[in-house]
């Protein structure tokens, strides 16, 4: 199985949360529109060096993959580690930017993204989200509470809601909204 090609990442200054959210949103547009999922983009950044460690988007990797899952799986492959041991290779403080709040439940039976983030351990210190997960597929997403209970900060990067939801729901039946 070939690894998806990585396009050059634009230079984004440290703490430019809007810049990283724009990058995540541009990644989300690469996901194929489908009525059964959201098109989401995600970026993992080393907070100390401002280096982008991984990017991902929904369905980037074969299977029913979510954006955050793609980031974690790509890093696990890079370091030849199981996702649950990824903290052994990651820097001390990693920020995760995701256009839509990480899922707390997968109808497909796959591991929810919030659980994958928690499995990485305390290396992911902050999760920046563009919008809370809409109730379309799963109501009452508990990701924020689970992350905060584990000591991970969750921050909303506002100003992108309309654009994120437009991209995220492309391919959904307009009558079901």
Q: How far apart are CA 134 and CA 57, in angstroms?
A: 18
3, 51, 60, 68: which one is catalytic? 68
148 is catalytic: no
Catalytic residues: 68
């Amino acid at each position: 199985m070939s690894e998806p090609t990585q396009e050059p990442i634009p230079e984004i200054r440290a703490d430019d949360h809007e810049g990283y959210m724009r990058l995540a949103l541009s990644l989300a547009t690469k996901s194929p529109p489908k009525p059964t999922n959201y098109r989401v983009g995600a970026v993992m950044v080393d907070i100390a060096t401002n280096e982008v460690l991984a990017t991902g988007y929904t369905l980037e990797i074969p299977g029913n993959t979510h954006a955050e899952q793609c980031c974690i799986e790509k890093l696990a492959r890079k370091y030849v580690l199981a996702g649950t041991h990824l903290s052994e290779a990651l820097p001390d403080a990693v920020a995760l930017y995701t256009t839509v709040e990480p899922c707390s439940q997968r109808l497909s039976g796959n591991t929810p993204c919030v659980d994958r983030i928690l499995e990485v351990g305390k290396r992911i210190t902050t999760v920046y989200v563009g919008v809370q997960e809409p109730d379309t597929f799963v109501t009452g997403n508990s990701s924020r509470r689970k992350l905060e209970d584990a000591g991970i900060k969750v921050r909303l990067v506002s100003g992108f809601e309309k654009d994120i939801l437009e991209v995220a729901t492309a391919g959904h039946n307009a009558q079901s909204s």
